[in-house]
Amino acid sequence: MWNEDKLNELLTVPSDALCEDMAKINGDIIVLGATGKMGPSLCLLARNAIEKAGLSKKVIAVSRFSDPIAAKLLRDEGIDTISCDMLELSQLRLLPDVPNVIFMAGRKFGTSGNEYLTWAMNATLPAYVAEKYKNSRIVAFSSGNVYPIVPLSTGGCTEESPTGAIGEYTQSVLARERVFEYASAKYGTKVLLFRLNFAVDLRYGVLYDMANKILTGEPISLRTPCLNCIWQGSANEMAIRSLLHAGAPAVKLNVTGSETISIKTAATRLGRYLGREPIFEGEPGNDAYLNDASLAMELFGYPSVPIHKLIRWQAEYILDGGRTLDKPTHFEERKGSY
């Protein structure tokens, strides 16, 4: 039977490779924006790796802590927490100076109609943080959507591919990257831009969205025929280990699963587990947001959970009544409107 305790345990078991790298990361780690979809499990994964490796460094979680469940989880697990509205400079400046920063703060959904808030979180705040932590190593979460939609025949964008952000959300994410690149060039700050495509946690993600459409009888569009996704535990592990690969000038890294997933195939497989037939609409297109994560695989190895297992887990979690975060990915969106 699936429940959140089982899911959180799976997400936060450190690999031997993570423990080995944790020993090489000098000093404490501060996670800015630690109560989003990925932040709590990343903090616990880092803490568990520190304990397993027999180290004494700290993990510090910073957030406004508007999500009481995430806040309680972190505090109950002994993570140091600091409540802070980082857009308030007077509060940001009081944060401790820490040699390792994982920047996860950002805004995506609700952008349309409130674009100024998205730009404040995704462009103004990184400028404040880049100045505050100019002497630290920074892993800054970004998005694979800074690249354009590409033909399936390309195999996906690499780190050398030109950007082509569509819509104000992805433009603001690209602005976040440029701000950290500027800090890296000006101050010599070691930075890694973590271009993530679709983490899957079972409480949310592209597979959850497909399963929900199947159960509610909502059609699944095939206009975007394929996508990339990755088990969130693997993505979090790569983010922590990326601290050792930050550089000046800033390093770019695509992070996603090794498979290019057919939406029709994934939905059909999900439907079998759920006992429902998916409904499809539209003709399959010939392009999609696709990223080539070969460099991440070279650095960190392949994700620990392959896609077919993720699909089975997702169906089982839903059938067992697992809690949802109610945060749809809008994986089918092609015009950048969030």
* 271-309 pLDDT per residue, tens: 999 999 999 999 988 999 999 999 999 999 999 999 999
What does DSSP say about strands 280-281 and 220-221: parallel, antiparallel, or unpaired? parallel
Average pLDDT over residues 169-188: 96
CA angle 16, 21, 22 (to 5 degrees): 95
CA 327, 106, 331, 234 dihedral sign is negative
* 24-59 pLDDT per residue, tens: 999 999 999 998 889 999 999 999 999 999 999 999
Tokens linked to 184: 């890296």
Q: Measure the CA–CA gap between 207 and 337, rounded to whole angstroms.
A: 21
CA neighbor of 179 nearest in space, from 128, 141, 143: 128
Tokens linked to 197: 């495509």
Quote the pTM value.
0.95
pLDDT at residue 110 in the model:
57
Radius of gyration of the CA atoms of the chain, in A: 19
Name the CATH superfamily for 4-200+230-257+289-303: NAD(P)-binding Rossmann-like Domain (3.40.50.720)
* 63-108 pLDDT per residue, tens: 998 877 778 889 888 899 999 999 999 999 999 999 999 999 988 7
Query: CA of 108: how far to CAs of 122, 167, 261, 307, in Å?
Result: 9, 11, 24, 25
Cβ–Cβ < 8 Å for 109, 338: yes
